[in-house]
Amino acid sequence: MTSPSTAPAVTALDPEALRSWIVEHQDLVVIDVRSAAEFESLHIRGSYNVPLPLLSEHTDELAARLGSRVVLVCQSGTRAEQARQRLAKSGIDSTYVLTGGAPGFAAAGGDVVRGKDRWDLERQVRLAAGSLVVLGLAGGKFVSPKIRMLAGAIGTGLTFSAATNTCVMGQALSAMPWNKAAKEPTRESAILTLPVADAPAADAWEEAKAS
């Protein structure tokens, strides 16, 4: 039996629990780490959009502004978990990942804001990877056997993505024009607009940055 001192921290939060937290806790901060385009399509009302690449670039600065009750949101939980791990390295070990992401919260009757319907990034990755595999197999049969290497390369890339919990194809697709919002989040518009929950920590960050 696992003792309380060694029990793993609970990092998952279900949609029903988040609905209660939104009502009960004024200090709650919900951060959506999807792209701005995905955020525009559907997001939890009151949440902040800090895309994962931006969060990764300014993790320490973001961590200095966060309090003790933070929920991370994406499409399915994968990117939110990456964000949680990054924040944990910066000393924020009390963040939660929303189970089922923004769509799961909407399905549970949560208060969301809907915009233009778009394919989420994870769905685009599946389409692109599947299409390239089919293209490689078909090309290998009808054009040249060497084209089959394309399918192998995609398989290798997906294996690497799973092993490292990253997605190079997703990063590439996120830069495509159709995945750009009218206004992309920046350090100033996304991170510096977050309420400062712990002023001393934020001051320490500013001092460290200046030194």
Domain boundaries 12-118+182-199, CATH class: alpha beta
Distance between CA 167 and CA 133 in Å, rounded?
Answer: 17
Sequence ranges of the domains in the chain: 12-118+182-199, 121-166
pLDDT number for residue 8: 42
pLDDT band at 202 (very low <50, low <70, confident <90, very high): very low
Q: Is the pLDDT of residue 10 over 70?
A: no
Q: Is the pLDDT of residue 31 over 70?
A: yes
Terminal CA-CA length for the chain: 48
Q: At what angle do helices 121-142 and 149-164 cross, to 10 degrees?
A: 150
pLDDT number for residue 137: 78
Q: Which residues pair with 98 in a beta bridge?
A: 13
pLDDT band at 4 (very low <50, low <70, confident <90, very high): very low
From 166, 6, 186, 202, select the one nearest 79 (Cα to Cα): 166
Q: Kind and range of the H or E element at 95?
A: strand 95-98
pLDDT number for residue 150: 72
pLDDT band at 199 (very low <50, low <70, confident <90, very high): very low
pLDDT band at 116 (very low <50, low <70, confident <90, very high): confident
Higher pLDDT, residue 62 or 119: 62
What's the whole-number mean pLDDT along residues 89-115?
Answer: 94
pLDDT number for residue 200: 43
Q: Is the pLDDT of residue 27 over 80?
A: yes
From 12, 37, 162, select the one nearest 95 (Cα to Cα): 12
Ranges 69-78, 124-133, 196-205, most confident: 69-78
| Identity at 103, one-letter amino acid code | P
Residue 97's Cβ-count burial label (10 Å; 0-12, 13-18, 19+) is buried
Give per-residue pLDDT as tens, 146-179: 777 776 777 777 676 666 656 666 667 766 766 6
- Residue 43, SS3? strand
Q: List the single range of 23-27, 32-36, 135-139, 182-186 with lowest mean pLDDT.
A: 135-139
CA–CA distance from 51 to each of 137, 184, 190 (Å)? 35, 9, 9
Q: List the single range of 67-71, 86-90, 176-180, 204-208 with lowest mean pLDDT.
A: 204-208
Residue 35's Cβ-count burial label (10 Å; 0-12, 13-18, 19+) is buried
